[in-house]
Structure 1
Amino acid sequence: MSVIERNKPSLTRALGRVNVIGVAVALVISSVVLLVYEAVSLRAALADNAGLEAAMVAENMSAPLLFNDAEVASEVLTHLGSLPYVESVAVFDAKGRRFARYAQPGLSEKEQNEGTEAAAQEHVRLSFKDVIVAVPVVQGGARVGTVVLVATTGGMKSEFTRYACFLFLASACALWIASLVMSRTKARVIEAERRLEYYALTDPLTDLPNRRAFYDELAHCLRPSAGVLPQVTLVLIDLDDFKTVNDTLGHGAGDELLRAVAHTLRGTVRQRDIVSRIGGDEFAVLATSDTDRSQSRGTAEKIVRSLGRSFELEGTMVPVTVSVGFSRFPDDAGDIASLVSSADIALYAAKSGGKNLAFEFRPKMTAEAQRRALLERDLREAIERDRLDIAYQPQFDCRTGQLVGVEALARWNHPVQGDVSPAEFVPIAESSELILSLGQWILNRACRDAVRWNRDASAPVSVSVNVSARQLRHHSFGADVLATLEESGLRPELLELELTESLLMANLTAAVEVMRTLRARGVRLSIDDFGTGYSSLSYLQSFPLNQLKIDRSFVKALPHSGQPIVTAIISMAHSFGLTVVAEGVEYPAQLAWLCDSGCDYIQGYLTGRPMTFAALMDALNEEREHVLASERTEPAGPVS
């Protein structure tokens, strides 16, 4: 059962029932009040009529009472028979003796005699008993008798019954209408709740459960059943270089790829497995049927195979790879947080291992992750407090042997860990925003140092600085480079920025714009590790480049093999008007072959290892003295 199914909106139904009951109770209360009011009103009206009739009789009874003429009194009372509500009328003399009486036919003796002065003294507002009123007979200011009239409540009861029936029907109709309105309103509210619940738990782009729904489902799956812990595998999937698709083909293509990946994932895993999109280009699979680690590994590798292919995006076939990391419960973790952390650690290891891989969590990965976190924290502090250093590897002219430039290489001597390799801390910086501050720090330091060594150099010596993808994508990169040159005082032509082929192709639009801006101001641009990336002739013609660097993997095989490739690179670069640097030169035979093949500059352990700024200054001073000594020993020209 999915999260959305378990969270159906039952609150609205309960509130609907409560509302209907509330309306019914309100109608009952209001009906009771109305019925009581109607009963009181009817009795009061009957009492008023009875009193009025009794008063009229009393006005005609004074003479018969004075003359003791009971026959006339009886005739007067007989006329009351036309009034249906008059049950009986009795006339009493001044001493309380009954003088005359009228009673409707068919009354019992008790009913005929209930009209007494004592009974008339009882005043009841709410009752269905007969109404008894007494009116005195007055003559000349003296009371000569009393008229007691008994009014039956039969008509009142009929009227009250009709009113009660009408009120019941009206209330029932009102309740039915209210129920109908509430039912329709409830249906709309339930539908709105369903939609809100859907949007709250579903990724609208891929129609998969979102992060919240996934973690709710994960919490549900990790609950023990009958005291037995379940076997659950959490698989995290991250699309490699997804930003490249967005940057080169647009966000529409990126969205299309995410939908295609979601569809493929659903078709790859089991039907009961839960697939979710939990981030921008990150997906998760919750596999509840993998009973051991080998099955979990098979699920992860199956996902890599199914997604590691080309997808057609807006008419273009785009190769896609994914990195996958997984962890198991309860083997690798005892709670949700640990399970997710373990899978995330495995995912990071997969991405660091070369991508398009599936890695399972291993306990040692936790220590590695902790070391990464520690190094990231300390690296941030080292950048902020200027505790890094730079080593400069020299580059020499193949024809003259002169030192013409250096490459700036970051170095970090950790106060506790000792020397931390750039191969370790640079990827840590690249996986976070630290690469921006690290790259800016290296650029600032290298430009300041270059100004210092060029003050007394016998010939200009340039400095080359590597640029990361995050730096190139940053909107202020070009302006930051120019500002650094202005602050340091370094001439733009003495700064060379090294960019990789994959970096340029992944940031094509931004790269061309920034490169043209910098090149127009005199900054030199170089392609690093040429031959290992796209190696497209079109970008060599389009980008404003100055130089190519032949990757060390091609130089390493020289001079015994690999000559055609290196010869082709040198020839091609020269045909585009670019100079060539061969890096990784370690043997004299390599140097000799490169010089004979027309390579312009060389860099490697053979000619110079990375050195500190002080060592570089010593080397430049030594070279300057050598140049001065050579000039002093040159023979003088002919004297005229």
Structure 2
Amino acid sequence: MKQHILVLEDANQRRTIILDEQQYSIGRHSGTSIQIHSRQASRHHATLMRKTNSKTNEECFWIIDGDLEGNKSQNGVFVNGEKRLIHELKNGDLINFGCSINASYHVTGEGFGDSASQPVEILPQTSPHNEGISAQIASSYNVREGVDWLASSNDETFHEQSYLDTATDLPNQTLFLEYLNIALSNARRHHMQVGILLCQINNWSDLKRKRGDAVANAFLQEAGQKLKGNLRNGDIVSRWDKDEFIFLVSQVQDTNSLLGIAQRLMKPVLAPVMAGGRPFQPEITYGVALYPADGEQVDDLIGHIRENLQPLLPQTTHPEQEISDDHSPTMVDVRVGSPQAESILSESDQKRLAIVEKRLLRALEQHELELYYQPQINWRKKNIEAMEAFIRWQHPQKGLLPPGQFLPWSDQTEFMVPLTRWILETACQQNVLWQKQLQTPFLVSVNISERQFYHPLLKNMVMEAIAMAKMESHYLELEIQESTVMKDFGLAQQIITNLHNYGVCFSLDDFGTDYMSLRCLQDLPFHKLKIDKSLTARLLEDPENTQNLTMMETLISLGKTFNLKVVAEGVEQEEQVNILDGLNCFFMQGYCFSEPLNILAANSFLHKYIVGN
């Protein structure tokens, strides 16, 4: 029988705790099941709960930030460098409690220890000051040292220095070193290898000097999110220095495999982007180190990396290579109209934007812009839940252009207002026409960008579009991203509530990619959430790895807890449909059902689908 083990480490001791109960409370209060001795820890910092994985039928433990009454810890719970509200622990996971206390989770039979039952040991760390301390034996449920060391102290939690980098929201150097020390300690005991990878953006300082702090930091944040999104399960990325990111890579075989992982991780950051209205080509050098081959101490490993840095060369592409929606140039999030952007845009940039604005206005007047529609399907009932509208530009010379090639420019000009009005009016009028023709009501969904969302005319444009189309307001759904809401949560709450009171529905897009999404679900009147397509894609990545499946199951359950409809985006294969159906997620959208269709093709699809079902 497998045993579940929690190894707690601080500066003075290492405790090995066999988890044989159903539930454990963790904190600095003397009444917790597992007491952690740090004044930066909350009194009831976290909870461990034994669960059974519905797919593998194996027992596991979940860690929850705070207690079971909804009270969160002050400094948070980090698992493998990610701040987590709730997380299913996997063998080898590294845990930090927002302070100097770290832990690792292990399952016997999966690379740690012996399966024989034994009492919990409190093992002093080897140091000149504690070599003579004898091991103590404690209950596996009630780990204490006999005296509540904080009994006479102030009850308030001491705030620890931030463990997240403010520019990128990634773990900072302090937290990375905590995890690295745990990983190296475990590797020494169990004769394992650990990989470290350093990525340096050489021309970031030039970007900062020429285009300002706002653009440089926005690029850095974008780069950090790309690196984070490309991680394998169990790996960690952190901000190391001003222009550097560092990775902790587990389960690595040798230096060659580590180099392959490095190139895959950094490839998205090497792509050229638009920064401050002008192209920017990142220049990257990188290096790797493998424990213990390249060193056994942190300084030795970092030193080995710096001595062996090498350039990462961009892949060349043919000038005529087609650029798809997913590979269109990225626009760094610095907007015209903000104080930073006014100082960034040069006179030539402003002239170019004026030309772009004029050309887009002409495109609207000459009917070169059109809406494509992609269905959201209720798989169980075999009916249409909604038709999501996507804009396209039928350019007279360049052909059909996806939104990524012109919307970022539109958002930086005043053309955004007439374009938003046209999209809303066209989508609402088309939906009314479909309802009359098909006698089957469904929603029409429109994506709203950050700048569109916060524009003071949004409410008027929405209400005018609904009135002009003579459509009931609850048939309009506005999709917004988590990052848009968190830009100014108070103002976002006011905007959403006002339109919700008018009857408009709201959908939270790209759900599952942002830690703050729980606040969105709790405090805002969303009626639907859409699970990001990257999470749907991972369902087919590794059949042996249940973590992706568990993550999807958790997000679906979370949405239903808040009485929301849950839509899985990016469904492309029948196998994904079957998996999602088994998880009771039956609202789906993706190429498995239909690509985005022009109006003629959309009409044909709807007639066939509705009549056929």
TM over 0.5: no
More helix by share: 1
TM-score after normalising by structure 1: 0.42
Structure with bigger gyration radius:
1
TM-score after normalising by structure 2: 0.44
